[in-house]
Amino acid sequence: MNSIRKRDLAMLIFGLILYGAIQGMISEKIIGSFWQLNIILICVNVIMAVSLNLINGYTGQFSLGHAGFMAVGAYVGVVATVNFQLPLIAALILGALCAGALGFLIGLPTLRLRGDYLAIATLGLGEIIRIVIMNIEYVGGAAGFKGIPHLTNFTWVFFTMLFTLFFIKNFVNSSHGRACIAIRENEIAAEAMGVNTTKYKVMAFTIGAAFAGIAGGLFAHQFYLISPNSFTFLSSFNYLIMVVLGGMGSITGSIAGAFVVTFISAALASFPEARMIIYALALILLMFYRPQGLFGYMEVTNFAPIKKLLDKISGNKGV
């Protein structure tokens, strides 16, 4: 028990060091505004990918509407800060609650569907959310919501990301998380072992949606304007690619996936024609040679040298 706490602490310290290093480089202007923006986007995308991974990778429910929940979080967030002058933290929490509630309401009926059917249903729901927002004049309709204060910064996104990672990691490494994984592995056996499969599917979906809402709130306060077109089916698909690329069922994988995808898009920003081709080629090659994604089910803490190091720090022996 103590060893788990110490491992968490070790990872937290690592996170703080990483934060210090990047924040230092930002204040010293070693990182320019272009890469600063991309670092923020990476963190937002990590939140999106990890939360989608909980639904798609861990629980095995193929959802294609994640950008829809992000949109809910984003719009609720900007309404909270602009129209009600609430602080960012309140906007994020409100966005998470609304997106989570919507996830719950949508999940209850749709999670009865399986595989391709669920994918199509969630795809449709994501689009419905976007089109509904497009028709609400209160939030700017199709033209988008203008005049959003720039409240998001690296500190906010980094610590929210850290919180998300710990939340999902702790959830997955518990009886609740094991119930979700059991559903992915074999739904009939999971049910026979006493797992309320509907409850856990909806739970995973709701948690995933809530974190997408948080990511949406952070995303929105980075830009002056958001429009429904920031949350199309294509962006849902982009998050799915991050999850698949990194490995369905690996948090480390989602981090790596979000990083690689965002980094490639940024690095190739000056060659827009070549970008999609290289992107597609990379995916095809990956699926050929590593269909389970970069990490598969593995976490970075499972790799022998890192595991050894962590065990040494935490004084854990065996098991």
Distances (CA, A) of 319 to 4, 7, 311: 12, 14, 10
Please state, in angstroms and rounded to a whole number, the distance separating the CA atoms of residues 55 and 184: 10
- Is residue 215 part of the contact set for other proteins (CB under 8 A)? no
Min dist CB 221 to other proteins, Å, is 25
Q: Tell me if 297 contacts other proteins by CB under 8 A.
A: yes
List, in order, residues 6 or more apart from 79 with CB less than 8 Å away.
138, 139
How far apart (Å, rounded) are the C-alpha atoms in residues 301 and 80?
39
- Helix ranges restricted to H, 221-249: 233-246
CA distance 175 to 50: 19
176 is a site residue for other proteins (CB under 8 A)? yes
Q: Does 13 bind other proteins (CB under 8 A)?
A: no
Backbone angles phi, psi at 68, to 5 degrees: -60, -45
User: Judged by CB under 8 A, does residue 5 bind other proteins?
Assistant: yes
Tokens 């910064």 -> residue:
153
Single residue of 33, 85, 175, 270 touching other proteins by CB under 8 A: 175
User: How many positions of this chain bind other proteins (CB under 8 A)?
Assistant: 30
Q: Could you say which of 70, 139, 190, 202 contacts other proteins (CB under 8 A)?
A: 190
Tell me which stretch binds other proteins (CB under 8 A): 122-130, 185-193, 216-224, 262-270: 185-193
- As a whole number of angstroms, the distance between CA 29 and CA 16 comes to 20
Give 200 or 259: the residue with its C-beta nearer to other proteins: 200
Smaller CB distance to other proteins: residue 129 or 248? 248
Residue of the chain from 188, 291, 315, 317 that contacts other proteins (CB under 8 A): 188
| Whether the Cβ atoms of residue 224 and residue 150 lie closer than 8 Å to each other | yes
319 counts as binding other proteins under rule CB under 8 A: yes
Nearest to 177 by CA among 198, 203, 211: 203
Residues 95-114 that bind other proteins (CB under 8 A): none
Least distance CB 186 / other proteins (angstroms)? 5
Q: Which of 189, 269, 274, 287 binds other proteins (CB under 8 A)?
A: 189
DSSP 3-state assignment of 63? coil
Binding of residue 47 to other proteins (CB under 8 A): no
DSSP category for residue 84: S
Radius of gyration of the chain (CA): 19
| Helix (H), strand (E) counts: the chain | 13, 0
Choice from 149, 186, 224, 277 touching other proteins (CB under 8 A)? 186
User: Which of 1, 29, 147, 273: binder of other proteins (CB under 8 A)?
Assistant: 1
d(CA 62, CA 57): 8
Judged by CB under 8 A, the chain residues 131 through 170 that form the site for other proteins are: 167, 170
- 88's tokens: 């960012």
Position 302 contacts other proteins (CB under 8 A): no
CB 72 to other proteins: min, Å: 22
Please report how close the Cβ of residue 110 comes to other proteins at its closest, in angstroms: 19
| Count of CB atoms situated within 10 Å of the CB of 23 | 15
What are the residues binding other proteins (CB under 8 A)?
Answer: 1, 4-5, 8, 167, 170-171, 174-179, 181-182, 185-186, 188-197, 203, 297, 319
